[in-house]
Structure 1
Amino acid sequence: MEVLMPPSLADSRAFVQDAEGHLRAVLSQTAHETSSLILCATVYPQLQPIDTSGKGGRDPLMSAALTLEGIQERFNVTLGNQIAELKRHSNWRRPLLRLPDELLVQMFKFCFADAEDEMNSDIDSPSQESYDIKIKLTHVCAAWRSVAISNRTFWSSIQMHWPMSKIDTFASRCYPAPLNIICPSSALAEPMKKVFVLTKLERMESLHVTVCDKRTADDFKFQCHPILRQAIPKMKALTLTFPEDLPGELDKDEDEDEELFDDEAHRLRNLTLINVKGDLDSPIFYQLTELHIRYANPRNYNEGPKEELKLIDVVALFQKSPNLEIFQFSVDYISTSLTAKDYFPDSTAPKLHTLILDSWARPAIKSFFFRFSFPVLEKIKVTTAPINAETEEEDTNMLSFLADAPYDVRTLLSTGCHLAIQGSLHENPESGTSFTLTPSSPSHPSHDSHSHSQPHSLIRSRPTVVLQPRAPDWGEQEDQGDWHSWVNWIYHTISLSRAYFPLSNLRSFAFNLNGPDYYVSEFPNEKRCWEIFFEACVSLEEVEILGLDTWKPMVRVLGQVRNPRGSVSFQAGKNTASSPSPTCNVPCPSLRTLRLLMQSVPQDRESVLLTTLRNRKSNGAMLRELIFIPYKARHSSESIDDYESRESRLALRILEEVVGCAKRVEMSASQGAVSILDGVRGFDLVDGERRICTTPPRREDDEE
């Protein structure tokens, strides 16, 4: 069927050809007339006298040239307007440029949000000019420019490290919409930018000021004084970061009666104060829905005891803020001791859904949990302060502070389906051991068999519970005995973990004890620890192990066969059964996937791994997947080379005799998280947490 086009569109090619033909005819006629005029003026110069004044009034050639120039100018203008009109209408026919303004606005929001996320990722060391994408979008076409400039909120986010010209441009295009200002420490050295921040306070919706340099600390506090005392009527979110060794003062000035912000911050709901000290009793806290505080009171480490912060003061702040939904309170445990000596009555946090306690002493955590209830709690993170005194027997249980946990916390623990345990790293022993518990991801339900071989579901879902006991203060040098003591505490805690975690509900488990290779060995209580643990994991479907030789006891226990009475009748490495026995069973009968991160796959046919896999198959619990991920230990001098790759693939082919599928997967940063245990991706961060816990300052005697 022939499609009939409108005459104006069907004849467009003929129109162009006719226009070009007419133009060529006119140019040919003009060339002929010009040649004739030149010939006449040259052969018969006496017919027309020449004006020697240079004005060209009586010169026929100059008169003709001026006439043609005028015609050319008018023609260019007319033709240029017609070309621009055709291009404009042609652009309108393009699908991308015919989008409705509402859709363009949504597209711009996504683009700008990504740019602002990168801008906020490291405000003190910006890696790129985040305003570029907004400027470029305004130069695509007139329609896009109009939409972008007319939406004033697009220009409300300003980084004070930008050139002042860009800051003024954004501020003018944003007006009268509120401003969102991020001011890194580098911008405080420029007077014009400091004046800009102070004069625009009443227009700000959010402000983030950071000072990390001690040189500008005094000047910052002088400039920050108006911020702390001045009215901020439109401010909804405020973050102030002071230097660790020169914290901000929350107390009133001796000569002034003003409270923080002079009680003119009625819209403030989100407040973050990093490295502050003083009185926590201010009305400004009571209306907040989100509060993050890092309390620090530095002192001379060679003089006197630590400064004491009373738990009852923190509790009073908490009790007087009934609208809090996110509460994070961190203590600089090197300079400040959080004491729990005073009695306080039972209380309830009716709206709190995220609780983050960092560097609290264990007695303070116990008291806090014993007296508070959290009816709508969804996420919790607890990081304990290191144990400095002599360790008592009960303290070897790293999770003992949960002994008096309220019913709401225990209910939250019972929802976990994925557990990851990461031991403290040698480079940073203060990081402690992290017990991370997450629920089943909605996008990857636990009954979906494909989800069990995909660690991405665990990485994408932020954890619900993070419990992180810090390592004890062992002094300057960590020795082998200290490391072994800490590892023994880990195994002792794992043995008791079924008192805190719903091991019978777990679908996946990951373990990482990536310590120094000369420290790692099989501990006497390690095998018994895993027997107790895996005996309770009746629904476990996926296990991942990272660590030098720490995988052997775990794998050995997974291949251990028991008779109905519970006694061991078959152990890995001592295969005495040749066929499945209906009277025997193995730990974790639902286990389907085993992931091993190690230097190379064990090749010995009598290895622990091969024996365990053979035992599980012979007892009706064969693994579906064995996934090997080549991993170079942080403390190992060996490298992963082509020889290792060939040998590992050969070993996997041998192991395929006793598993459904054995494969090697390369760990690549570009592919995202291949491993469940990848701490650099924030697996131990809960939603709503701010990175306000900075590295404690060095001791003076350490510097010597």
Structure 2
Amino acid sequence: ENLAALHRATESLNRAVIAYRRFHNRLSPLLRLPEEIVVEIVLTYIQGVLPFLGNNWELGEFDWHNLSLMRLGHRFAITQLCSQWREICIRAPVIWSEIDMTWPFVAIQCFATRAERMSLSLTLRNDESDKQDSVGDLEATLDFCTSFITSNMSRVRQLEIRAYLSDGGDQFLAFWNEVKQLSVPALQKIEILAIPSITDGDALHDLFPRGASLLKSVNIQGFPIQDLNLAPFQALTSLNLRFPPSVPPLSLAQLPLMLSHTPGIVKLSLFGDPEPPEVMALSSRPTTVLPNCASLTLISFHSDQINYLLSSISFPVLKELSVDCISRLSAENIPTTCLHDSLPSAIRDHCRRARSLDYWIEDGSICIDVEYSEGSTGGDQFKLKLHEDVYTLPDDKMKLLVIQLLTRASRMLNFTPERLYFFSAEGLPEELYSKDLWMTVLAAHPSTKSIQIRGDFPVNTFIAALAELNIVCPSLKTLLLETEERLDDEQRSAISRMRRSRQERGAKINKVRISTMHSDSDTE
């Protein structure tokens, strides 16, 4: 009897403590927040903090499955700080609308139920080792995903699938062939990636045959795209295609026709195969117009392929162009380059307003970088990046192309930069940077008022070019030299003599600053 009485007293005391804690919690400013603020706090944690938890990038470790489970635990934890928060969060469908398909099946069903009629964002990823211990094997997971997605596709707004395939990927292909046939009335974004690339040429054939009227963003990697039909996706504004190298390649001649079905594209990114067989000739005229495309990225193509694409597709409102390509010799044994007449006229028009031109020379490549913004808020932005690998060319051809890239930009792009910036790190052979080269480069930029040299350039030939009797850059007022090693006394004397010589001839340089890359300025 005494023991039972003690238990009753303990339970009564516990109830009193819980009641007191709840009363005390209600006095907390945190728990007196409006429900919408609580929901916003939880969403901020889920979307802004949770994605970065558990990434051991420094150690080169990434286990997607276990990382996903850990984040699921954190997601539940933030929604259950107390009973009041739990009740608020359960009533907020938006908190439960993002679902990772590698979670335990019961958790997936719980999220889908709590999301009520909210549209869903689904992610399916497996890591390279196919760790599925707590969920079941890959086949069971794909079977569940097929069933779940089929039942819920009418409310899926975003679908991300990233698969590391093994044994030919037959299980994944069976799953994908079911998904691609579904009706997708709410789908706005799809991202599908397969590593290694899928070799089934029909993998994208007849994608979403019933249409996808709301689909705005498509990102495809590791799938053969020669049979991809974009015509049903009339709402499409963002397209990212990576051409897989291990399958029959898409002929670039097919691409303008494929893109002609997507006139609403605003952002276009194409990643090519750097090992194509033939050099491509220019198109005589554009066969496709993308009237709304403002941003274009072209990566891992040869220069001649870039020129073909830009000559066969018109981009009348382009404001951002990023090109990363490889030069090779044409049939006439001349180096090809993306700094070509095929560059869109819209790019040239924007370049007229730019005042700064950057050259980055590293790892056997040259990058031309132009960027500016206008307006009090910087809302009108323009970006141009032309990155060309030249290391594959013979030495004599490489020198010819280097001179072209460093001298033709201003004329080709129709602008007169007031500032030049040169950066080099493990760049081109030192013998390329002769006095004659610098004379040619600087003579091509007569309006320049400021030059900054940074990196491992040989300084002597550059200073000799500035000291020539035939003055280059007559408007030059500021010279900044930031070198890997400290300049010796003879080099500093040469700079002083150059300044006096130019001043005597009416081309005074007002300011020269010399420093090393790992210290503050030591001479001004």
Instruction: Determine helix, strand or coil for the equivalent of 1:433.
Output: strand
Matched, 1:560 2:508: no
Task: Report what 1:607 is aligned to.
Answer: 491
Deviations 1:391-432 (A, max 9, x none): 634x36x344x313332121133343443333351xxx6xx4
Partners of 1:310 and 1:340 within 8 A in 2: no
Matched, 1:177 2:118: yes
Partner Cα distance (2:74, 2:4) in 1: 48
Letter aligned with residue 157 of structure 1: E
Task: Report what 1:266 is aligned to.
Answer: 213
Task: Report what 2:440 is aligned to.
Answer: 529
Letter aligned with residue 427 of structure 2: G
Task: Report what 1:434 is aligned to.
Answer: 367
Letter aligned with residue 436 of structure 1: D
Change (3 A) 1:170 1:353: same
Partners of 1:242 and 1:248 within 8 A in 2: no
Change (3 A) 1:262 1:164: same
Task: Report what 2:386 is aligned to.
Answer: 467
Partner Cα distance (1:229, 1:68) in 2: 67
Residue 260 of structure 1 and its aligned partner are, at CA, apart by 1.6
Partner Cα distance (1:124, 1:337) in 2: 39
RMSD: 4.1
Which 5+ residue runs of structure 2 have no aligned equivalent? none
Task: Report what 1:697 is aligned to.
Answer: none
Residue 209 of structure 1 and its aligned partner are, at CA, apart by 1.6
Partner Cα distance (1:521, 1:273) in 2: 44
Letter aligned with residue 200 of structure 1: F
Partner Cα distance (2:45, 2:8) in 1: 48
Partner Cα distance (1:387, 1:116) in 2: 45
Task: Report what 1:190 is aligned to.
Answer: 138
Letter aligned with residue 161 of structure 2: V
Instruction: Determine helix, strand or coil for the equivalent of 1:106.
Output: helix
Change (3 A) 1:437 1:367: same
Partner Cα distance (1:494, 1:370) in 2: 23
Task: Report what 1:668 is aligned to.
Answer: none
Residue 511 of structure 1 and its aligned partner are, at CA, apart by 1.9
Task: Report what 2:511 is aligned to.
Answer: 623
Query: 361-370 vs 286-295, which deviates more?
Result: 361-370
Partner Cα distance (2:231, 2:39) in 1: 39
Partner Cα distance (1:345, 1:441) in 2: 30
Query: 354-363 vs 216-225, which deviates more?
Result: 354-363
Partners of 1:436 and 1:463 within 8 A in 2: no
Residue 318 of structure 1 and its aligned partner are, at CA, apart by 1.9
Instruction: Determine helix, strand or coil for the equivalent of 2:184.
Output: coil
Matched, 1:205 2:142: no
Residue 132 of structure 1 and its aligned partner are, at CA, apart by 4.7
Task: Report what 1:90 is aligned to.
Answer: 27
Residue 76 of structure 1 and its aligned partner are, at CA, apart by 1.9
Residue 225 of structure 1 and its aligned partner are, at CA, apart by 0.9
Q: How does 1:540-559 map to 2 (within 5 A)?
A: 540=450, 543-547=452-456, 549-554=457-462, 557=465
Deviations 1:178-212 (A, max 9, x none): 22222223368523321332223314221222234
Which 5+ residue runs of structure 1 have no aligned equivalent? 1-61, 254-258, 300-305, 446-460, 475-481, 569-584, 631-647, 660-704
Matched, 1:296 2:244: yes
Letter aligned with residue 496 of structure 1: R
Matched, 1:316 2:250: no
Matched, 1:378 2:319: yes
Residue 309 of structure 1 and its aligned partner are, at CA, apart by 0.8
Task: Report what 1:588 is aligned to.
Answer: 476
Instruction: Determine helix, strand or coil for the equivalent of 1:498.
Output: helix
Residue 75 of structure 1 and its aligned partner are, at CA, apart by 5.6
Partner Cα distance (1:170, 1:333) in 2: 43
Partner Cα distance (1:359, 1:290) in 2: 19
Partners of 1:330 and 1:358 within 8 A in 2: yes
Deviations 1:358-400 (A, max 9, x none): 344544443443454333222112233541556634x36x344
Instruction: Determine helix, strand or coil for the equivalent of 2:509.
Output: coil
Change (3 A) 1:222 1:261: same
Deviations 1:328-353 (A, max 9, x none): 23321325668558766654322111
Partners of 1:420 and 1:509 within 8 A in 2: yes
Tell me the TM-score normalized by structure 1.
Answer: 0.61
Matched, 1:113 2:47: yes
Partner Cα distance (1:66, 1:211) in 2: 60
Q: How does 1:129-208 map to 2 (within 5 A)?
A: 129-164=70-105, 166-186=107-127, 190-201=138-149, 202=153, 203-208=155-160
Tell me the TM-score normalized by structure 2.
Answer: 0.79
Partners of 1:236 and 1:269 within 8 A in 2: yes
Q: How does 1:437-452 map to 2 (within 5 A)?
A: 437-440=370-373
Letter aligned with residue 271 of structure 1: V
Partner Cα distance (2:499, 2:39) in 1: 58
Residue 466 of structure 1 and its aligned partner are, at CA, apart by 1.7
Task: Report what 1:366 is aligned to.
Answer: 307
Residue 494 of structure 1 and its aligned partner are, at CA, apart by 0.5
Deviations 1:443-499 (A, max 9, x none): 898xxxxxxxxxxxxxxx99711212233646xxxxxxx467535522332022211
Change (3 A) 1:109 1:611: farther
Letter aligned with residue 352 of structure 2: S
Task: Report what 2:357 is aligned to.
Answer: 419
Residue 315 of structure 1 and its aligned partner are, at CA, apart by 1.2
Task: Report what 1:696 is aligned to.
Answer: none
Residue 162 of structure 1 and its aligned partner are, at CA, apart by 4.4
Partner Cα distance (2:98, 2:71) in 1: 10
Partner Cα distance (1:546, 1:364) in 2: 32
Partners of 2:180 and 2:207 within 8 A in 1: yes
Deviations 1:659-683 (A, max 9, x none): 1xxxxxxxxxxxxxxxxxxxxxxxx
Matched, 1:104 2:38: yes
Instruction: Determine helix, strand or coil for the equivalent of 2:318.
Output: coil
Task: Report what 1:582 is aligned to.
Answer: none
Change (3 A) 1:621 1:145: farther
Residue 537 of structure 1 and its aligned partner are, at CA, apart by 1.9
Residue 587 of structure 1 and its aligned partner are, at CA, apart by 5.2
Partner Cα distance (2:184, 2:347) in 1: 37
Change (3 A) 1:388 1:142: farther
Deviations 1:27-83 (A, max 9, x none): xxxxxxxxxxxxxxxxxxxxxxxxxxxxxxxxxxx7xx5797488458625642552
Partner Cα distance (2:377, 2:395) in 1: 38
Letter aligned with residue 352 of structure 1: C
Instruction: Determine helix, strand or coil for the equivalent of 2:489.
Output: coil
Change (3 A) 1:237 1:292: same
Out of 263, 271, 294, the residue aligned to residue 353 of structure 1 is 294
Change (3 A) 1:523 1:386: closer
Partners of 2:237 and 2:267 within 8 A in 1: yes
Letter aligned with residue 545 of structure 1: R
Instruction: Determine helix, strand or coil for the equivalent of 1:607.
Output: helix
Change (3 A) 1:139 1:443: farther
